[in-house]
Structure 1
Amino acid sequence: MAAAKIKKGDKVVVLSGKDKGKHGEVTKSLPREGKVIVSGVNIITRHRKPSQSNPQGGLERTEAPLHISKVAIEDPKTGKATRVRFEVRDGNKVRIAARSGELIDG
């Protein structure tokens, strides 16, 4: 399997859909489904009936997964969307922002 280009904790930009242009941090990566969950993006509302655990019921707002093709890594230098390149530095494989050449992994 290839190295993951987008990981948990990365700052990303949404490229398409209703949240196009929004920035956020990846809170969860789902590599088998090819999806990521981004904080503050793609918020869905579910109507919940009152239950034993939630006696009040009401509206529940959660973040739904986005397809990985709809997000791109945010360039550390400019804050714009960028592609990711891999390089070997000091014997370690690291991620590099293609737009500016900045190191993504610390």
Structure 2
Amino acid sequence: MRIKKGDSVVVIAGKDKGKKGKVLQVIPKNNKVIVEGVNIITKHQKPTGQNQQGGIIKREAAIDASNVMYFEKKADQGVRIGFKFLENGDKVRVSKKTGEVID
């Protein structure tokens, strides 16, 4: 996947369009990501165990990876990501807008 855990992303489609956040989890099997502060759902949770509290909990739900774009601070907008091989054979992610290596 082009998006990794810890990346800053901007939502480009859906009810949270325009929101920015950090990727908390990547689910490559379903091509989904969980972004901090985006796609908040209300979950009714039963108490489990002796010390666990039940009740209504707000948490982030998964959003499709195609609906987010890597956010580059230098360009101050979402950018597309490509791949490039370095001379030593390493494969790195590259910003399509600026051409800079991301990681």
TM-score (norm. length: structure 2): 0.87
For structure 2, list consecutive stretches of 5 or more residues without a partner in the other structure. Answer: none
Give the 5 Å matches for 1:12-91: 12-49=9-46, 52-53=49-50, 56-91=53-88
The residue that corresponds to 1:7 in the other structure is 4
Call closer, same or farther: CA 1:85–1:55 in 2, change over 3 Å. closer
User: TM-score scaled to structure 1, two decimals?
Assistant: 0.84
- Please say if residues 86 and 95 of structure 1, whose CA atoms lie closer than 8 Å, have aligned partners that are also in contact: yes
Q: 1:85/1:22 Cα in 2 relative to 1: closer, same or farther (>3 Å)?
A: same
RMSD: 1.7
Who is 2:94 aligned against? 96
Q: Give the Cα–Cα distance (whole angstroms) in 1 for the partners of residues 34 and 64 of structure 2.
A: 9
Give 5+ residue unaligned stretches, structure 1. none
How much does 1:76 deviate? 3.7
| Residue-by-residue CA offset, 1:64-98 (whole Å, 9 max, x unaligned) | 00001100111241231111111112421111111
Report the more deviating stretch, 19-28 or 52-61.
Answer: 52-61
